[in-house]
Structure 1
């Protein structure tokens, strides 16, 4: 098969797929059936697979396996899934991501097939992955001892920390030149100094003081507090982390208050546009940023996940911005809060009414192997979906792989959350180091920012998957989480905007009293029970 031979060549040349002889030997197992069969599969609609009948990955894999898929693509898969659970409609394959509660609900409804015995006999790639990562087996094992799903991982270095700070590169370089330090800013003092430079230097050259030093949006990814607060104390997405077997709440400490004092100061000095940040949505932020005339460009620094969140690539380039490092705290420590070093999601299950479970699990298992991982990143057909190049990859290896089609519009792959994926850095970062695609293929900018933040990851130690059959505990915990998080966010917004005085002890105590009143202690106790600490 052309696909396999090409991949083998890359493996031998680059050791991308070290130790994969067994995986390639499994090619003798194709097709999976002696006579073609059809499975029905429920999945979420994604723009990658606009037309299953002509989708290159779908057509190619059907030729390989002898298995035809009748796709049921849902525009609102959670609503439709709930209707299917409650009703009589069933499918052979559930090709969707699952939460633990969804798995338990579907097991109770008799919708899912236990996979334990099938894995041992017919899923060598999944079995090997569970042996390589025992924690994956723990994540997948339900309270009844059964495994019901495959999984998807994402090893992208950009994933663990979503709270980066991006600065317009030419303006950043101008600031660095002015202070004679090509690494600045490193501290809160230098960060503030940078914002002052942006505010006062007329960097767009239009003669007006209209530069916006720092701004975000109401989208939680664009919230600047997390990046800024980590220079004072750990600021996790849910405002807590696990340390030495205990829940540590973050948003009521003296260090948290000191961080708020500084952010409020930035706002009062016109260095952070807080009033705009807490009322505008992301579309409004993008409209503010994406200005083609340099004389009218105004925005210097934006906090978010990656450049594509705020850049319209038809107007600006992702590479116009640089992710600056996390700021040092008073002890010289930098923090980039991470929930684990790779993302893990339960993904894909076989229906209890599946017409051929053995073929179904073999159909799913190929995607967990190295060939399946390669295909999900680069496609199935060399010369059409991708090509090999004798140039370095973005991670420094050689040769490399170049995409020939647009992942979202070319209808050549399944897309996210359709089949299992065991992500591998060697395959993901085999992308050619080609400046001509830096602003059309996001692999490079994601890698650069993720690599810069990686040394400073601070793990929340919150398990990636937690099982609990205690629905009362989960419901109570979620209710308290909403109350606590809303209280924290409302208070820090008011403190930053000056609606409350962060320097006033009475105002600070009133906030602490509000946390107590909405049940902070009860919430922390429920978290302790949920994580079995």
Structure 2
């Protein structure tokens, strides 16, 4: 009887254990199903919401500090439209690259990388982390879930070539700029319109000789009318903004690698570049170029502009330097591209309108289909307008004629742009979207002036200096090694040649030094990359 009793007890214990294990397995399976539920969520290929069942993703993006992203009305409304919520990590723009690198190194990378520039999510990083499987290839997702971006690629074949890496995959989406100023390679240069009137100029210079003559008149004829010889005919900060316009006058599209009729060259060692240096040295020597060009900061340049001491100067808009209201800045004409003895036809660099690295999906993302649909809306006209100016009732309202009317900016903001930066993330970063004029938004006389000047003086001539290419890992490593000393040397020597510290008689020694920096291999790498791009 005793033996039988213990057998019954043992059987009961075993049965209890089996039941407990079974329940635990079922519980674990249920938890696993809950964890994977978002991965199985159905994605609607058209319209909103994107998913019927709410999901939450994580996003790493650079913040501008004007507002927390979860508080931005544009993102709040878009979450309601899509049923996709986000946990935002937005370190300051200045710290974003460091944060991004640490996230990649740790493996704890967000589901989505948003708003990175090509300096932060570099082409080399796209290739490297794409081949490691950390960044997902996007081309199949685009084909099935991104009709707006797919249409942009079909409309502009250069777009697909420019974002397809050496292994044939697309790992990041860009910002696509179709704005009237999209061709600007950087901020233009502007003439002081009042000075042009003072010296009786009716037609802007079209050649380097004509510009020289005008700058002499700015220096000598007291165009600011104060009776003092304080005029500065031409200024810049380290030539960083005006350089490209003067290089173009001598037949060059870039201060480095450029393509000319299918052949790649390094511009700073060409005879064209020597002519550029000779001309700028002449301007500097005759005090037509600001003697503080290589010493001043942008704030000093702007101070001179507000004192009405500048005749020709670079900036995004002229009133950024002069401090004038927009209605007065209309009188400051945009610089017209120049020709020269060595470049009788106008050459002008232009932006390709494509800024890479703006949006990527990582391997931690369980919902890549929903993610690509989420961003694809930003590449439509409707989505562009929504992300650019936010929902109605903040920055704008619909007027009686159906067009937009801008509302009064709250007193705590210095400008409408500062206010806009609290409403939408499409401010001050490389936003993955279609950049263009907002449909129905009011346009000022200054806006129309800028568009007309751009059409006549930039769009008519601009061409890309060198296409957006991808290098292989080995090529990128070689380029990085060569560039460290090369760029530093060329930058130092430009300042020395222009200011006369280094006489141009030493040009041959300068070229020889560059040749000894493995420049032949450097150019060949970019020639090979260009050939791949051209044949893609």
Normalising by the residue count of structure 2, what TM-score does the alignment of the two structures yield?
A: 0.79
Aligned to 1:44: 62
1:166 touches 1:304 (CA, 8 Å); kept in 2?
yes
Distance 1:217 1:319 in 2: 24
- Relative to structure 1, the CA distance from residue 134 to residue 272 in structure 2 (aligned partners, 3 Å threshold; closer, same or farther) is closer
The equivalent position to 1:32 in structure 2, one of 40, 50, 64, is 50
Farther-moved stretch of structure 1 (362-371 vs 116-125): 116-125
1:252 equivalent among 248, 264, 269: 269
- Identify the residue that residue 30 of structure 2 maps to in structure 1: none
Does the aligned pair in 1 maintain the 2:45–2:145 contact within 8 Å? no
| Residue of structure 1 in register with 2:335 after alignment | 324
Cα displacement string for residues 319-352 of structure 1 (whole angstroms, at most 9, x for unaligned residues): 4632121123246522322243x23323212222
Pair 1:151-2:163 in alignment: no
**Bigger-Rg structure (1/2):** 2
Paired residues, number: 472
1:184-195 → structure 2 map (5 Å cutoff): 184-195=204-215
Distance 1:148 1:242, change over 3 A: same
Q: Give the aligned partner of residue 18 of structure 2.
A: none
Find the residue that maps to 1:241 and give its secondary structure: strand
Give 2:37's aligned residue: none
2:192 to 157, 168, 175: 168
145-154 or 61-70: bigger deviation = 145-154
Which residue is 1:348 aligned to? Answer: 359
Aligned to 1:12: none
Q: Secondary structure at the match of 1:531?
A: helix
Q: Take 1:135 and 1:322, find their aligned partners in 2: how far apart are those partners?
A: 32
Asked if the contact 1:151–1:345 (Cα under 8 Å) also holds between the matched residues in 2, the reply is: yes
Would the aligned equivalents of 2:233 and 2:289 in 1 still touch at CA under 8 Å? Answer: yes
Describe the superposition over 1:367-417 as per-residue Cα deviations: whole angstroms up to 9, x where unpaired: 112211222333221x533346699xxxxxxx8655445233341222244
Give the equivalent residue in structure 2 for 1:19: none
Superposed, 1:31-430 pairs within 5 Å as 31-47=49-65, 50-75=67-92, 76-97=95-116, 98-160=121-183, 161-162=185-186, 164-175=188-199, 177=200, 179=201, 182-218=202-238, 220-221=240-241, 224-238=242-256, 240-273=257-290, 275-291=291-307, 297-307=308-318, 310-312=321-323, 318-319=329-330, 321-330=332-341, 332-340=344-352, 342-381=353-392, 383-387=393-397, 401-404=404-407, 406-410=416-420, 411-416=422-427, 417=429, 419-424=431-436, 427-428=437-438
Shift of 1:276: 0.4
- Rounded to whole Å, the distance in 2 between the matches of 1:50 and 1:408 is 10
* Structure 1 residue 313: Cα displacement: 6.3
Q: Return closer, same or farther for 1:469/1:188 CA change in 2, 3 Å cut-off.
A: closer
Q: Deviations over 1:249-304 (max 9, x none)?
A: 3333334333322222222222112x30011121222233233xxxxx31221134
Q: Which residue of 2 aligns with 1:5?
A: none
Q: Counterpart in 1 of 2:500?
A: 498
Is the 1:159–1:343 Cα contact (8 Å) retained in structure 2?
Answer: no
**CA-CA distance at 1:419 after TM superposition:** 4.9
- 1:448 Cα offset (Å): 4.4
Aligned to 1:21: none
> Aligned-pair RMSD on alpha carbons?
3.0
- Is 2:491 aligned against 1:489? yes
On the 8 A contact 2:249/2:340 being kept in 1, the answer is yes
Residues 1:476 and 1:147: Cα distance change in structure 2 (over 3 Å): closer
